[in-house]
Each structure stands twice: as structure tokens, then as C-alpha cells.
């Protein structure tokens, strides 16, 4: 079984300002709250029971990156590979009661992942009343790791994820899963953390709506809109009340043919001459984006 990991499953975030993050997620991005208890709030852009999970905490940090496998058998298969890959199992139970099976593990770099079965989904429950933009789905996460080569090795050995593209100096690389989207994980080199998580927009006009909604809240885009070369997706970025950076992404290129696919290596690292190797429309990344760092929660 290759591609045990199929897609991005969910993202869990610790925050000191849960109401501020909910306000940004519902009134700007257009998510809806699906569950709330005294510890957690779940939000979704569609019929899935949870895509973004907020945990009330005394810090703002990334808690867990959820990766979706299609079956409980695939989750159990991934579980058998964790220790051999040099990672540590933290729990063999699903973290949310909207999934049948899950296994949570830590990597030596300080990242925490859960590989879990698909989150309960109402397929005809995609649209909800909102004044926010209303994206299609949560589609990818860019994590930050001090050792990209090791992180890719773990994800590949445990979840069957594959490299889709990389910078020659390994400052950025991208991995895909069973849904063939150019990347469900971006791997940034640096102190362990989260660079951004992303929701997929339906159409380009959504960026106009996003910009105006940010303005109404006296906020602004951090970068974009533009089109990335790696993944070929459109993008815009902003930050929310927790300090996490959120990307609003257009549909990505697909790796349609594994057998004939060779991961591209970007060799031109010279700024600003390489701008169109990175961003199709020639809009360079601001320093704030390049150096963005949202911490990952310490793992006991």
C-alpha cells in the first residue's frame, strides 16, 4: 500500500484568544462552528464535522497536524511503521469522536501528527449562511522543521507520502498523498513550528471579498493575491487573532501519473532574479512571509 496518507485531515491550534480566532474564522474566512465544549471548538468550511480545532490554552501554538487515511486498516498499517521510522507513538485512539480510528505520534524534530480515518462528513451540507468568504475545504499545511530530510523520511516511511518538488538547498520542499494534490504538506527549514495552514477558495473573486472583509476588521493581507509556481495555485495570506498565518489557496496542480512523475528541483535561488521560478506573476515574497514562524507546542 503506497499513499497511506490521502489528504490533509484537520489542524489543531492552541490559543489564548479562542473567541478572537472564532470571530476571524467565521466573519472573515466564513467557517462555521460545529461543536463547542469547555475545552475545544471545532470549525468547518463544509459538511465535515471538523477541519480547524481550537484548544483553549495559555499559549498560541500548533498542537497537531491531522493527516487523513481512507480506512482504519490504513491507520493501523501506518501505526506499525512509526517506531521503526524513529518516531514515538503518543496515542492509538482517535483524538476526536468524529473519526473512527487514529494514531498520534511525535517526530524527533518536535512535530506532532495524527493519522486518522476521514472525519464524519455530510456531503449535502457544504454551504452555510455566512458573511465571510466561504472556502471549499482545508487543503494543506506548511510546517517548519529543523531537519527537512528527516521529516520527509518519516512521513514517507509511515504514511507513504512522496516528494513533489524541492528547492536545491532544501529551504522548502513539498509532499503529496493519495489525492494527488501537488502538496498536502509543505516543509520549511527552520526552528520547529507552523508556517501556515490553508483553505481552498472556489474562485478568484473570493480574494476581493477577503481583502474587503479584512479591511472591515482593520486587518490586511500579508501577501498576495498571486500565483505560486510550486503547486500552480493562487494564494493570499493573512494572520488571525492567534498569530497563525492562514493561506487562501486556489486549486492546485495534480500529480496525475506517479510512474512518469519526477519531482522538480528549483535550482535558481538568487533573489530577485528567481521571482518567476517561485511566483508565476512576478510578485516576490515579503521578508515577513519568508521568516514567518508560529511555534509548535512542546511535546512532553
Binding piece for Fe ion, criterion CB under 5 A, among 8-16, 96-104, 241-249, 275-283: 241-249
CB of 260 to Fe ion, least distance (A): 25
Take residue 1 and report the three cell numbers written for it.
500500500
What number of residues does the chain have?
A: 300
Bond into 284 cis (ω within 30): no
Binding piece for Fe ion, criterion CB under 5 A, among 8-16, 108-116, 218-226, 243-251: 243-251
Take residue 233 and report the three cell numbers written for it.
495555485
Q: Which is nearer to Fe ion, 46 or 198 (CB)?
A: 198
The answer to the question of residue 139 lying near Fe ion (CB under 5 A) is no
Site string for Fe ion, 46-75 (x = CB under 5 A): ------------------------------
Q: Which is nearer to Fe ion, 99 or 278 (CB)?
A: 278
Q: Which is nearer to Fe ion, 68 or 247 (CB)?
A: 247
* Cβ contact 201:248 at 8 Å: yes
CB of 247 to Fe ion, least distance (A): 5
Take residue 217 and report the three cell numbers written for it.
476588521
Site string for Fe ion, 183-222 (x = CB under 5 A): ---------------x------------------------
CB of 69 to Fe ion, least distance (A): 22
Binding piece for Fe ion, criterion CB under 5 A, among 87-95, 120-128, 170-178, 245-253: 245-253
CB of 185 to Fe ion, least distance (A): 10
What are phi and psi for residue 182, nearest 5 degrees?
-40, -45
CB of 47 to Fe ion, least distance (A): 24
Kindly tell me which residue out of 79, 200, 240, 247 binds Fe ion, with binding defined by CB under 5 A: 247
CB of 219 to Fe ion, least distance (A): 19
Q: Which is nearer to Fe ion, 74 or 143 (CB)?
A: 143
Site string for Fe ion, 97-116 (x = CB under 5 A): --------------------
Q: Which is nearer to Fe ion, 24 or 247 (CB)?
A: 247
Chain residues that interact with Fe ion, rule: CB under 5 A: 198, 247
Amino acid at each position: 500500500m503506497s499513499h497511506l496518507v490521502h489528504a490533509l485531515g484537520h489542524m489543531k491550534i492552541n490559543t489564548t484568544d479562542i473567541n478572537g480566532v472564532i470571530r476571524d474564522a467565521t466573519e472573515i474566512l466564513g467557517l462555521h462552528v460545529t461543536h463547542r465544549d469547555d475545552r475545544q471548538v471545532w470549525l468547518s468550511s463544509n459538511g465535515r464535522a471538523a477541519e480547524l480545532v481550537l484548544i483553549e490554552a495559555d499559549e498560541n501554538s500548533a498542537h497537531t497536524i491531522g493527516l487523513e487515511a481512507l480506512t482504519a486498516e490504513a491507520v493501523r498499517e501506518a501505526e506499525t511503521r512509526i517506531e521503526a521510522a524513529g518516531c514515538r507513538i503518543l496515542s492509538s485512539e482517535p483524538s476526536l469522536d468524529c473519526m473512527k480510528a487514529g494514531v498520534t505520534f511525535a517526530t524527533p524534530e518536535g512535530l506532532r501528527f495524527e493519522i486518522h480515518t476521514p472525519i464524519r462528513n455530510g456531503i449535502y451540507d457544504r454551504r452555510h449562511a455566512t458573511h465571510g468568504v466561504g472556502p471549499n475545504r482545508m487543503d494543506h499545511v506548511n510546517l517548519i522543521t529543523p531537519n527537512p530530510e528527516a521529516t520527509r523520511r518519516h512521513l514517507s516511511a509511515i504514511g507513504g507520502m512522496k516528494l513533489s518538488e524541492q528547492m536545491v538547498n532544501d529551504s522548502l520542499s513539498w509532499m503529496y498523498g493519495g489525492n494527488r494534490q501537488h502538496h498536502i504538506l509543505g516543509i520549511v527549514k527552520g526552528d520547529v513550528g507552523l508556517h501556515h495552514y490553508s483553505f481552498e477558495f472556489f474562485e478568484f473573486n473570493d480574494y476581493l471579498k477577503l481583502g474587503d472583509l479584512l479591511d472591515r476588521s482593520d486587518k490586511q493581507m500579508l501577501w498576495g493575491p498571486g500565483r505560486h509556481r510550486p503547486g500552480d495555485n493562487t494564494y493570499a495570506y493573512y494572520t488571525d487573532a492567534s498569530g497563525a498565518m492562514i493561506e487562501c489557496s486556489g486549486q492546485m496542480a495534480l500529480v496525475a501519473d506517479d510512474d512518469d512523475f519526477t519531482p522538480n528541483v528549483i535550482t535558481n535561488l538568487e533573489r530577485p532574479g528567481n521571482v518567476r521560478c517561485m511566483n508565476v506573476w512576478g510578485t516576490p515574497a515579503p521578508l515577513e512571509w519568508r521568516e514567518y514562524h508560529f511555534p509548535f507546542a512542546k511535546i512532553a
